[in-house]
Structure formats: structure tokens, C-alpha cells
Amino acid sequence: MASENREEVVCVTGANGFIGSWLVHTLLSKQNPHYKIHATIFPNSDPSHLFTLHPEAQSRITIFPVNILDSTAVSNAINGCSGVFHVASPCTLEDPTDPQKELLEPAVQGTLNVLEASKRAGVKRVVLTSSISAMVPNPNWPENKAIDEGSWTDVEYCKLRGKWYPVSKTEAEKVAWEFCEKHSGVDVVAVHPGTCLGPLLQNQMNASSAVLQRLMMGEKDTQECYWLGAVHVKDVARAHVLVYETPTAAGRYLCVNGIYQFSSFAKIVSELYHDYPIHSFPNETQPGLTPFKEAAKRLIDLGLVFTPIQDAIREAAESLMAKGFLQRTTSQK
């Protein structure tokens, strides 16, 4: 794990994605330790924005084009690193044509490839980017109990409804814990973000930002199988670094600023952007919100201070408008 007054080399998989980019930005911004980064990107994807994130980015980032299913390429990227942030995992709002090939195999086998390479390289800690989707939906969770790190998504419930992303994140995390039980020497800590909102550092749209974009454009899909645990992406990046640098950190860390049913989230957005055609959803039958301090208690206890969700929504919406993914209304011009 990180120690002061020295240089440290870490690997960030999926470094040019939404969370990955903010994580790289956060690591580069720290003074102690002074991080150098092995940044893995999917072959032929664009990492150029990473070199604009810090004045020393050019000298501190090394790019590794890596298909996460290529164990040799994964090993090459992780060799020489003392820590790994495994962020890369396929995510889409569209229904996959082949769930096994498009989601499950990259998520599960990719995680195993990272853990096996980390063990061979002598990595001290792997921070796994899991998801709230590995915790909910869980229809058997006690109705009056706040969602917390003890909850696991009901994969059969999701499979029956064709919701494959939660299945992929749940199965990927479970194989990570199974790996830890079988192999000593690799310490895994998992961070579970919800829907990440905030400025886009990359030029491409990502799935979380698309949830807000579609809602503000009048989308009527209730996302009923997704519990929307909204959170600012910069808080997610800080959470990753925090659990990496805290020796006592262990297990699962839910990283959300409250857990909402979609109608509750849509209402907040509509109050901020009443000029947009945001659909008014009927209230769901399940509870609308898990209180923020209960949902994120473990990270709050480690010292993470969360950004108000209204600020995250505003910054995300402004970024979408600035990059041309969302049209401004007349009153905002």
C-alpha cells in the first residue's frame, strides 16, 4: 500500500473511461506518495485526454493497450506495480446480444486475469471497482433495513428480467473474493459506486452520464431493476485512493450519496432543470431512498466527504451541454 515520501507505481485498468480518468486525475494530483501510473486502455481507444490532466502527466503515465481477456497483456501492464485499481469492465444501457461474450466473460475472466497477474507481480493491494449493481436488486432484503455492504444482488431475479449488467458485476466480485480465499498474498478491497455523475474528462459518452442525458431528454424507462445510488464521480475516485492508502480498509465499501428509486432521482433532476421534458414517474412500491449517512457509513468513517447530489447533477448536466450531448434550453443560453 501507499507510503509517504516515495514514488509509487500503480496500475489503473480502463484508465481512459469515466471513472478511470477521474482516478488518474486524483492520483496525479497527490503529492505524497508521488504516483506513476500504468494506464491500461482498450486497444485502439483514445487516451489523449489523460495527458491533459496534470502538468507532469506525460512523464508519469505509461499507456498499455490491453484487452482485459489477454492475460499476457494484463501481466505486462501490472508488472512493476505495487498496487492495482481494476476499473475496466463493460457497461452499457443497451441489452446485449450475447450477454456471456459481451458482459459476463470480460467482467469475470478479466477480474481473474488481473488478480492472477497481481499475485505474480507481488502487488500488495487490488482495489476492485464493483458496483451498487452487485448489491441490488435484492428482493429478499428486509424492507425496513437500509441497503448496506451485506446485500448481494439476486442474480436469478436479474437473469429472468434480462438485466445482465448486475449479473456481470455480481459474478465478477464473487470470483474476486473466492480468489482471495484460495490464494494468500493478494489483498482485495471493493468500492461500490452507484450512478456516477460529474464532468466528462473523456470525449465519449459513458453509461452513467447517459442515464441523466436520456432522463433530461424525456426518456420514460423507469429502470425498475436498477436502484440508482447517485454519487459524484470525483468522490468515487477519492474513495478508491482512500481505501488503497488506508491499511485497515477491508471488504466492501458502498459509495453513494443516497440510494434512490428512479422516480425519486427524476424528481430531484426536474426540480433543478424544470425547462427540460423530464418525465414524471409514478412512485414505486419499494422505499424511495436509503438515507445517505447509512448508505455510505463505512466510507464516511474513513473520512470521505461527499459532494451534494444536486451539485453532481448540475456539473454533469453542464458537461453534457458543453460537449454537445445535451441541448441547452433557451433560458440557459
Sign of the alpha-carbon torsion through 199, 233, 295, 148: positive
Domain that holds residue 111: 7-195+232-256+291-304
In a domain, 52, yes or no: yes
The CATH code of the domain that includes 178 is: 3.40.50.720
The chain-wide mean pLDDT, for the chain, equals 89
- Decide if 155 is inside a domain: yes
Of 322 and 290, the one with more pLDDT: 322
Segment 239-253 shows an average pLDDT of 97
pLDDT of residue 291: 47
Catalytic machinery residues: 169
214 in a domain, yes or no? no
Confidence (pTM): 0.92
> Looking at the domain assignment, is residue 240 inside a domain?
yes
In percent, the amount of the chain with pLDDT more than 90 equals 68
pLDDT classification of 175: cutoffs 50, 70, 90: very high
Q: What is the pLDDT of residues 20-74, one digit of tens each?
A: 999 999 999 998 889 999 999 999 999 999 999 999 999 999 999 999 999 999 9
Q: Would the pLDDT of 8 be above 60? A: yes
Residue 282 lies inside a defined structural domain of this protein: no
- In sign, the C-alpha dihedral spanning 227, 232, 237, 239 is negative
Checking if the pLDDT of 143 tops 80, the result is no
Higher pLDDT, 130 or 329: 130
Position 180 in a domain: yes
Q: What is the pLDDT of residue 148?
A: 87
Per-residue pLDDT tens over the stretch 64-114: 999 999 999 999 999 999 999 999 988 776 777 898 998 999 999 999 999
At 223 the pLDDT is 59
Residue 273 in this model has a pLDDT that exceeds 90 = yes
Is the predicted pLDDT of residue 157 greater than 70, yes or no?
A: yes
Is 29 inside any structural domain? yes
Q: Kindly report the CA angle at 164 between 240 and 178, in degrees rounded to 5?
A: 55
- Confidence at residue 331, expressed as pLDDT on a 0 to 100 scale: 57
- Buried/exposed 36-55: b ≥16 CB within 10 Å, e otherwise: bbbbbbbeeeebebbeebbe
Number of domains the chain is built from: 1
- pLDDT-based confidence at 287, cuts 50/70/90? very low
Residue 227: pLDDT band with limits 50, 70, 90: low
107 within some domain: yes
- Residue 261 pLDDT greater than 90, yes or no: no
